Amino acid sequence: MSTNICVPLHRAAHGRTGDKGDRSNISVIAWHPALWPLLVEQITEAAVARQFAHRQPSAVRRYLLPKLHAMNFVLDDVLDGGVNDSLNLDTHGKALSFLLLDLPLDVPAELTPYLVGAG
């Protein structure tokens, strides 16, 4: 019987934040194609909206890029006005990919060899 383990998303994927105005985009890229279906199933717009609830996004959209085994999240109005307006030290939101990559991911035992890192 297969058992699932729960790991932080950063063990299955990596990503990068970009910003334009008050909008942030965060890519999530599977470390291995075998992990990609888990991301599609679990790293949803709703899950990301919950993770960023304190920043009160007005919209969260997910775009899938199946050939790249990647997805692109676009979060509107999460930068407190953006690079010129926010009081945050990180006005660009450069660090936000690491907030997204803290999301939990359930991984079936047979896919755990594809995970990276420890913990």
The yes or no reply on residue 70 touching another protein (CB under 8 A) is yes
The yes or no reply on residue 87 touching another protein (CB under 8 A) is yes
- Give the contact letters, 28-67, x = binds to another protein (CB under 8 A), - = no: -x-x----------------------xxx------x-x-x
Cα 116 from Cα 54, distance rounded (Å) = 29
In 3D, which of 16, 7, 17, 75 has the Cα closest to residue 39? 7
- Give 2 or 33: the residue with its C-beta nearer to another protein: 33
Q: What token pair was written down for 16?
A: 């990068």
What is the pairing mode between strands 23-30 and 70-76?
Answer: antiparallel
Cα 26 from Cα 72, distance rounded (Å) = 6
- Interface with another protein by CB under 8 A: which residues? 10, 14-16, 18-21, 23, 25, 27, 29, 31, 54-56, 63, 65, 67-68, 70, 72, 74, 80, 82-90, 94-96, 99, 116-118
